[in-house]
Amino acid sequence: MKLRTRMRVNENGRLVIPAPFRRQMGIRAGDEVVLVLEEDELRILTRKREIERTQRLVRKHVKAGVSLADELIRERREAARHE
């Protein structure tokens, strides 16, 4: 579903996200969102969507089946043994 609207920024620089947009994105009062400025576009992401996006980016550089957490724990234990 593609939503589009025109809005005005108030004198304090604030912008209200319309209810249909909030519903579509699953944003509720008090939720934290992330603003991303890319070239000349402002994007609003939910924290969940940003985490998913980051995970996809990391997976491009990590082999399937590799756990970065397990590797970090192994490296820390090895470093502790050498102290």
Cα–Cα distances (Å) from 35 to 42, 46, 60, 78, in that order, read: 7, 9, 23, 39
Query: What distance in Å separates the CA atoms of residue 77 and residue 51, rounded to the nearest whole number?
Result: 28
First to last CA, the chain: 57
**Predicted TM-score (pTM) of this structure:** 0.62
Q: What is the pLDDT along the chain (83 residues), one digit of tens a residue?
A: 788 999 999 999 999 999 999 999 999 999 999 999 999 999 999 999 999 999 889 888 888 888 889 999 999 999 999 98
How far apart, in whole angstroms, are the C-alpha atoms of residue 47 and residue 70?
A: 25
Instruction: Supply the pLDDT for residue 21.
Output: 94
Tokens matching residue 78: 């090895």
What pLDDT does 58 receive? Answer: 87
